[in-house]
A and B are shown apart, each in its own frame.
Chain A
Amino acid sequence: TQLLEQSPQFLSIQEGENLTVYCNSSSVFSSLQWYRQEPGEGPVLLVTVVTGGEVKKLKRLTFQFGDARKDSSLHITAAQPGDTGLYLCAGFLFGNEKLTFGTGTRLTIIP
């Protein structure tokens, strides 16, 4: 059973469109991170959210941590080909020091 479920698993959209990726769990997390991974490389951290309801913005990317700390979303405005990649959410459960990764969303932006 996967602790963190991401949806959709695959997403292909046109340049300029908006999109949202979801990361859901039935468990409560003390914090949650979003990583982006490009082919042939390791994941790179985009953001960490630590407070329920927290919203963080990174240029055209908006990250939100759910009020109950069980879910998160990543919204991209006006997607660009450079946004193409595998997006991974990862969280720390309360009382557990290990980072748990979601299944990933593979995003393709078509020029």
Chain B
Amino acid sequence: DAGITQSPRYKITETGRQVTLMCHQTWSHSYMFWYRQDLGHGLRLIYYSAAADITDKGEVPDGYVVSRSKTENFPLTLESATRSQTSVYFCASSARWVTSYEQYFGPGTRLTVT
């Protein structure tokens, strides 16, 4: 199906474990983003990518790693999960990144770190 998908939708992991959240889009959008959503903070940008092999930090990058070897995939890895990383994670994509362009969001991954 066309669109942007995330997997898994729900994940429970233990402190210290590595976990990877997957994001896949079928529009061939150049730009992809990872956000986390927490009560009282809204959505905060973790990392973004302008194209394959081009990534950059957002507002809250510490503890996260991204890669983008293919245009359609943008995985987010928590190298050693901490309880403060319990959150809902959203992946988004955009055809262009100018100030009036729409970002399309995936359905989110709810991550709990115990």
State the CA gap A3–B63 with chains docked (Å): 23
State the CA gap A84–B39 with chains docked (Å): 18
Interface centre among B4, B35, B103 (most CB of A within 10 A): B103
Instruction: Write out the residue numbers on chain A whose beta carbons fall within 8 Å of the beta carbon of B108.
Output: 40-42
A45 touches B43 (CB 8 A): no
Chain A residue with the shortest CB-CB distance to B90: A42
The residue from B40, B59, B107 contacting A42, defined by CB atoms under 8 A apart: B107
Instruction: Write out the residue numbers on chain B whose beta carbons fall within 8 Å of the beta carbon of A102.
Output: 42
State the CA gap A4–B35 with chains docked (Å): 16
Interface centre among B41, B43, B100 (most CB of A within 10 A): B43
Interface of B is mostly: loop
Instruction: Write out the residue numbers on chain B whose beta carbons fall within 8 Å of the beta carbon of A4.
Output: 42
Interface check B105, CB cutoff 8 A: yes
Interface size of A by CB at 8 A reads 23
State the CA gap A36–B21 with chains docked (Å): 24
B100 touches A41 (CB 8 A): no
Chain B residue with the shortest CB-CB distance to A90: B43
- Please encode chain A, from 80 to 99, with 1 for each CB lying within 8 Å of some chain B CB and 0 for all others: 00000000101010000111
B100 touches A104 (CB 8 A): no
A2 touches B97 (CB 8 A): no
Q: How far is the CB of A105 from chain B (nearest CB, A)?
A: 11
The residue from A30, A31, A40, A44 contacting B105, defined by CB atoms under 8 A apart: A44
Q: A41-B107, A42-B106 are in contact. Are A2 and B100 (CB under 8 A)?
A: no
Interface check B44, CB cutoff 8 A: yes
Q: A50-B99, A97-B97 are in contact. Are A88 and B42 (CB under 8 A)?
A: yes
Instruction: Write out the residue numbers on chain B whose beta carbons fall within 8 Å of the beta carbon of A48.
Output: 100, 102
Q: How far is the CB of B23 from chain A (nearest CB, A)?
A: 11
B105 touches A43 (CB 8 A): yes
Interface check A101, CB cutoff 8 A: yes
Known: A33-B102, A42-B105, A103-B40. 4 other contacts (CB 8 A): A41-B107, A48-B102, A90-B43, A98-B58
